[in-house]
Amino acid sequence: MKRTILSVVLISLFTFHFSLSAYSFAERIKDIASFEGVRDNQLIGYGVVVGLDGSGDKGRAAVQSIVNMLRRMGLTLNPADLKSKSIAAVVITATLPPFAKPGIKIDALVSTIGDAKSIQGGTLLLTPLKGPDGKVYGLAQGPVSIGGFAAEGGAASVQKNHPTAGRIPAGVTIEREPAFTLGNGRDIRLFLHKADFAVANEISKRINAALGGDYASAVDPSAVRLLIPDEYRDNLVALITKVDMLDVGMDMPARIVINERTGTVIIGKNVTISPVAIAHGSLAIDITEQPKVSQPPPFAPGGAETTVVPRTDINVREQKASLVEVSGVTLGEVVKALNLLGVTPRDLISILQALKAAGALQAELEII
């Protein structure tokens, strides 16, 4: 009896390991998907930063805002009498996390909207933050930290980071709990962060194996429908926790990401190259202008003038290139073969694009 149980356990472990080995790697469900209703919300508001050392707005928008605020406090002031560069009009944004409760504090981002040069050392006055529905969900206030500085003189200036944008750590106090719906009592949907047929199908299989029944099914490449078992109807937190911690095999697509601005090339694991011969060379032409001044000698005959004589030096350098056979079925072989060419990342971008056009590159090229 013990030998039979041990055999069943070993077979189950072998089957699970084999199913995962067919994929590139494994990830937790919580890292690749999220449940319906569990999402962030964006907040925005308009406010005024005060206490600036002459680096505030030159316009009247911030002044009018201060005048309106003082009027609500019982102080009537003519906007023309308030001429100060110590205030700046700003926009405040914040991200409201899911299940946020009143009293929780979150960070605020502060950005100028006028011609203020810096909000360093400023303090944001009490500002309501609203959601897309127009309701106030938080109040922002506090000293602004820009993480840099800016200074200038008559003929020189120095700057670090962006002095016109900053952050208020824990500067927003949540005042209203956002409405959300977590399931409908019968089922709940799981949304993948990146749509994939194979991953959605694998998630449903892992959930059904963990719950011991046919509860999950892939609706489409980006959604999995999960029927709530009877024992979890009054405890969705336990069900979500159990599902979130399940490991799912991931299949990395054959993709190459290219950033032409920085010359960065990222090659995925499943990229392969069919046998092909590559010859890559470069041509560089240097043109140098060194004009000479022709100065006539003293007491030269009439008509002699000082002239500029053009002098141009042209240097042509052409790199010799020979055919190199390139092929590979693993990432290591592909990298080794491309390194034999001895090219720079920017040259490599041109080679990869040519390989894709020739049909020798079995991968998707994504240029960002």
Average pLDDT of span 20-47: 82
The pLDDT score that the predictor gives to residue 327 is 65
pLDDT score of 310 more than 50? yes
Q: Which domains does the chain have, with CATH numbers?
A: 24-37+181-250 (3.30.1360), 41-174 (no CATH), 256-295+308-367 (no CATH)
The pLDDT score that the predictor gives to residue 5 is 37
pLDDT digits (tens, 9 = 90+) for 180-199: 777 777 899 999 998 889 89
Pairing of strands 136-143, 165-174: antiparallel
The larger pLDDT score, comparing residue 179 to residue 339, is at 179
Residue with tokens 């979500």: 240
Residue with tokens 């991968």: 363
The larger pLDDT score, comparing residue 364 to residue 109, is at 109
Interatomic CA distance for residues 118 and 121, integer angstroms: 9
Amino acid of residue 257: V
* Percent of the chain surpassing pLDDT 90: 33
Q: Which residues make Cβ contacts (< 8 Å) with residue 130, sequence separation at least 6?
A: 43, 44, 45, 136, 137
Task: Give the distance from CA 120 to its chain's centroid.
Answer: 26
pLDDT score of 87 more than 50? yes
Interatomic CA distance for residues 124 and 110, integer angstroms: 9
The pLDDT score that the predictor gives to residue 86 is 86
**283, 266 Cβ separation under 8 angstroms:** no
Phi, psi of 116, rounded to the nearest 5 degrees: -65, 140
Q: Which two tokens stand for residue 275?
A: 């046998």
Q: Which two tokens stand for residue 17?
A: 């390991």
pLDDT digits (tens, 9 = 90+) for 114-153: 888 889 889 999 999 999 999 999 999 999 998 766 666 6
Average pLDDT of span 19-29: 63
Interatomic CA distance for residues 97 and 86, integer angstroms: 33
pLDDT digits (tens, 9 = 90+) for 197-234: 989 999 999 999 999 999 999 999 999 999 999 998 88
Q: What is the DSSP string of 175-225?
A: -SPPP-----SSEEEEEESS--HHHHHHHHHHHHHHHTSS-EEEEETTEEE
pLDDT score of 91 more than 90? yes
Three-state secondary-structure class, residue 251? coil
pLDDT score of 154 more than 80? no
pLDDT score of 4 more than 50? no
Phi, psi of 2, rounded to the nearest 5 degrees: -65, -40
Interatomic CA distance for residues 316 and 285, integer angstroms: 5
**Number of Cβ within a 10 Å radius of residue 271:** 22
The pLDDT score that the predictor gives to residue 29 is 92
